[in-house]
């Protein structure tokens, strides 16, 4: 296991689009700096929240390149490069490493659902494709496959497999040899209480300072966690990243729409999100262009 964490508050950053649904690089850079100035230690680029399924490889890698080029000292850039094609995952891992990513996030292979031996081979190949830490990503609601804790412990024996982003709340527990990151906002507090490294979060787009306080002020953690429950719930009112893009837009941030098959929040969903922002007392200043 790596001797240091990659940061405590890591934001799975959205991918902004312009009115023609082209990647808006300027808006991405502005949002990246805004997050770092409001509680985030770093970002995860092109994770689920970044809509990687509808990005080309060139767009994906360009966002990694931008984040690495814009990264101030002390900030972390993690490239999410997972695939259900091992050769593709390795190629993207190699390229992200060359571009300067501090680590790679690699989701469990979806759809083809390999068995245990296949998963061990898959992650062994990915780890060989980089000299940076590899963060496993367990999110069975998206992939159709779970990485149970005994398998995670076995995968931890692979050199450079150093962390896990745990998005199966039922599995949340320390794993010998792996730094533990919350993969869902609603288990961030529990993860910290368990001695975990932190979280790969979505709510930190709009509540970064509060999530920072949760990490830095353990005595207030339960209180802040309770305050943020309406926001956590609202960001699950429909498929991520639809709600967080809607919340950012309501607060004046220019992040654009979504690429099909995802669609923008409807009026009922917007009302839930708007109400949660009001109930949690969140206000925001628009991202300014740089």
CB 9 within 8 A of CB 204: yes
Which residues of the chain have a pLDDT value below 50? 1-3, 285-290
Residues 6+ away with beta carbon under 8 Å from 278: none
Question: Do the beta carbons of residue 50 and residue 63 sit within 8 Å?
Answer: yes
User: Which pTM value belongs to this model?
Assistant: 0.95
Q: Which domains does the chain have, with CATH numbers?
A: 9-218 (3.20.20.70)
| pLDDT at residue number 206 | 98
Catalytic residue among 137, 163, 181, 245: 137
Active site residue 245: no
Q: Which of 123, 163, 165, 245 is catalytic?
A: 165
pLDDT at 4: 58
CB 11 within 8 A of CB 205: yes
In three-state secondary structure terms, 9 is strand
Question: What integer pLDDT is reported at residue 5 of this predicted model?
Answer: 80
**Cα–Cα distance list, 136 to 240, 253, 282, 286 (Å):** 20, 31, 32, 33
User: What is residue 1's predicted lDDT score, i.e. its pLDDT?
Assistant: 42
Would you say 38 and 72 are in contact if contact means Cβ atoms under 8 Å apart?
no
CA–centroid distance for 278 within its chain: 25
Query: What are the tokens at 238?
Result: 């429909």
Q: Is 137 a catalytic residue?
A: yes
Cβ neighbours of residue 4 closer than 8 Å, sequence gap 6 or more = none
Alpha-carbon gap, residue 199 to 192, rounded angstroms: 8
Give the tens place of pLDDT for each residue, 102-138.
999 999 999 999 999 999 999 999 999 999 999 999 9
């Amino acid at each position: 296991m790596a001797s240091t964490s990659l940061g405590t508050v890591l934001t799975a950053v959205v991918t902004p689009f312009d009115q023609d649904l082209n990647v808006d690089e300027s808006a991405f850079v502005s949002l990246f700096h805004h997050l770092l100035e409001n509680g985030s230690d770093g970002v995860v680029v092109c994770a689920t929240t970044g809509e990687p399924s509808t990005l080309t490889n060139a767009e994906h890698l360009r966002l990694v390149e931008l984040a690495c080029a814009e990264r101030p000292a002390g900030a972390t850039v993690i490239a999410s490069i997972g695939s259900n094609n091992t050769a593709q995952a390795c190629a993207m891992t190699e390229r992200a490493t060359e571009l300067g990513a501090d680590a790679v996030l690699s989701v469990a292979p979806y759809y083809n659902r390999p068995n245990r031996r296949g998963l061990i081979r898959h992650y062994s190949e990915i780890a060989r494709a980089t000299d940076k830490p590899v963060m496993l990503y367990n999110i069975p609601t998206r992939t159709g496959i779970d990485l149970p804790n005994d398998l995670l412990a076995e995968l931890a024996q692979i050199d450079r497999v150093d962390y896990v982003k745990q998005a199966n709340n039922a599995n949340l527990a320390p794993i010998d040899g792996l730094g533990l990151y919350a993969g869902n906002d609603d288990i961030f507090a529990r993860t910290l209480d368990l001695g975990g490294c932190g979280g790969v979060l979505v709510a930190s787009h709009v509540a970064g300072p509060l999530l920072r306080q949760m990490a830095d002020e353990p005595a207030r953690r339960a209180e802040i966690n309770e305050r943020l429950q309406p926001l956590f719930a609202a960001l699950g009112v429909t498929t991520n990243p639809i709600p967080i893009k809607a919340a950012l837009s309501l607060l004046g941030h220019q992040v654009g729409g979504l690429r099909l098959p995802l669609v923008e929040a409807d009026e009922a969903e917007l009302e839930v999100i708007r109400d949660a922002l009001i109930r949690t007392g969140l206000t925001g200043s628009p991202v300014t262009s740089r």
